[in-house]
Amino acid sequence: MEFKIIAKDKKSKARVGLLQTKSGSIETPFFMPVCTQTTVKYISSHDLQEMGAKAVISNALVLSLRPGQNLIKKFGGIGKFMRYQGVVFTDSGGFQMYNKSIYEKSDENGVLFKNPISGGKVYMTPEDDMKLQIDLNSDVAMCLDSMPLIEVSKEDVAEAVRKTGMWAIKCKIAHDELQKNIPKNKRQLLFGICQGGIHKDLRELSARHFAGIDFDGYAIGGLALGEEKEDEYAMIELAKNVLPEDKPIYLMGAGNPVELIEAISRGCDIFDSRFPTRNARNGSLFSSKGTVRLMNNSNRHSNEPIDSECKCFVCKTYTRAYLRHLLDIKDGNGLRLASYHNLYFLQDLMRKAREAIKKGKFTEFKKDFINKYKE
């Protein structure tokens, strides 16, 4: 059993689980910093360990382009290559359909990517992608999915749902075959990803399709892309009603504190987003009282930490005035410190959420957090 639910909230769908992987167990809900190219931007593996980030997500396609899967395979996989002692997820590359410098087109059998480094083309089938993720030796692989852009027509979303579903079956078969001789406790897990945008019928169709295949976990993809929060939450509820209750649910791309708490209360267990680090680099910092816009003039002389309630080394040490100056001169040290704080904030939020669920106080915790955050 790869996922064990150890505590359930009575008034919501929030739960604490234990996800068991070949690199160790990790309590859900958790948030994964995005580690696309075997590093979180500006953040070292030591930093990740120190902030308590017990899982990260990398990107199989991007790594296959540089430094190449052979190099990482030779070093024993992503975790060993980057000297990270934790759980490593790999996204397939489906998300890179958002990245116009890489994505070219897709058809029935796979996706055509450009290699912006060599200038060459890579055609990736679901089967190739499974082989790639096994080579990268991540603990959890994601199915190759077709991720529609937010602005596309319903027809295009339907087409993405169809392709994603078809590829998922191919992924599952290939992945099982590749690992058939590997003992169960040494196996990479495989998560499916349902799509469907914010179209109820398509989302439900996709979720039902995935629920029918025995994946180790299920992701809800194609959300947290700028749609209305109400639509996002409605889609989560819909997918969650269909997907297996005893499997971990991974809401891809969500990284706003309130959004995370809302998703946890709707039964999501796993999260990732580049939002916290990208925002940090732009001076948008999390605090228990809501977003701090560091570059605002009011912070120019501020002797206060980013968040007086935060226990991270950045908040325990540096003033807003100093951090603001570092971002103002665009120094890498400032970019690191800001990124560290935002990631720590989410790790801490997940710790608090798990604790509240275990103590049967999640609803109060959620209410208090959101009220204070919106102040």
**Binding residues for a second copy (CB under 8 A):** 37-46, 66-67, 71, 74-75, 81-83, 300-301, 303, 313, 317-319, 321-322, 325-326, 328-329, 331-337
Least spacing, CB of residue 356 vs a second copy, in Å:
31
Residue 102 vs 205, nearer CB to a second copy: 102
Q: Residue 20 belongs to what H/E stretch?
A: strand 15-21
Q: How far apart are CA 190 and CA 146, in angstroms?
A: 17
Q: CB under 8 Å to 183, separation ≥6 — which residues?
A: none
Q: Is 9 a catalytic residue?
A: no
Least spacing, CB of residue 364 vs a second copy, in Å:
36
Cβ-contact 209, 192 below 8 angstroms: no
Q: Are strands 3-8 and 15-21 parallel, antiparallel or unpaired?
A: antiparallel
Least spacing, CB of residue 142 vs a second copy, in Å:
22
**What are the C-alpha distances in Å from 323 to residues 33, 249, 320, 345, 347?**
21, 36, 5, 16, 21
Alpha helices in the chain (DSSP H): 45-51, 60-65, 69-74, 78-81, 126-135, 154-178, 200-211, 229-242, 257-265, 275-281, 313-317, 320-328, 332-358, 362-374
Least spacing, CB of residue 267 vs a second copy, in Å:
34
Bridge partners, residue 293, by sequence:
284
Q: Is 272 a catalytic residue?
A: yes
Least spacing, CB of residue 181 vs a second copy, in Å:
28
Residue 175 vs 324, nearer CB to a second copy: 324
Residue 46 vs 367, nearer CB to a second copy: 46
Q: Which of 9, 47, 91, 216 is an active site residue?
A: 91
Q: How far apart are CA 328 and CA 167, in angstroms?
A: 46
Residue 61 vs 205, nearer CB to a second copy: 61
Least spacing, CB of residue 3 vs a second copy, in Å:
31
Nearest to 247 by CA among 56, 28, 24, 25: 28
Residue 62 vs 242, nearer CB to a second copy: 62
Residue 83 vs 289, nearer CB to a second copy: 83
Q: How far apart are CA 324 and CA 331, in angstroms?
A: 10
Cβ-contact 34, 40 below 8 angstroms: yes
Q: Which of 47, 129, 216, 272 is an active site residue?
A: 272
Nearest to 31 by CA among 207, 244, 286: 286
Residues tagged active-site: 91, 272
